[in-house]
Amino acid sequence: MTSYKTLPVQDLADYELSRQSKTQPLDLLSPAIEIMTNYSRNAPLMLDQNMLIDDAISLLKSAHVSRTLVSNKQEEFIGAVSLAELQSARIMSIANKLAINRKELTLGNVMNPKSQFKGIQLQTILNSTIGDVLNTMEHYGLQYVLVVAKSTMEIVGMISARDISKKLQIPIQISPLPTSFEEVMLAVGHP
């Protein structure tokens, strides 16, 4: 068994909270890697595709997480969904299409499948700015991109528009690009 040492502690009666930030504030010219959620340091929340959406909403809220990856029973990544999507009108539309009660919907019914996601190689992220990533997300209509390591064929992180907006304190409005004829018609105002 490893033995650990006891570290010396200080009485804090005479100490004040430091007002000096040791990190530089981020801006659009900052390295993109600075905004990436790194899955090798922080494992992503991954919920089973059979979880009911109301249970997922409760879990995401209690964990203060805005999105989750979705897995199958072999714990393989198969998709993702955000808290905002789970609380949107889209959910009722899916329930109606499937002819089931909203309370019976699972994450598998409502998630965005892995095939719909875009990834950016880690090496590209290492050589890019936050502005480059944001421009790419706006170009493709993406709320988030996954960061991939091509050499190992692994997803190693994620960058979200929400995180960029929050950390840079700038408003970001990205409209998803239509992916079907129905979505194109709705986008141009023809129901």
What are the chain's domains?
32-187 (3.10.580.10)
Place 11 in a pLDDT band, splitting at 50, 70 and 90: confident
Taking residues 130-155, report their average pLDDT: 92
Q: How far apart are CA 108 and CA 80, in angstroms?
A: 9
By CB neighbour count within 10 A (0-12 exposed, 13-18 middle, 19+ buried), where does 132 fall? middle
pTM of the model: 0.76
CA 82 to chain centre: 7
More confident site: 70 or 181: 70
pLDDT-above-70 percentage for the chain: 90
pLDDT at 16: 80
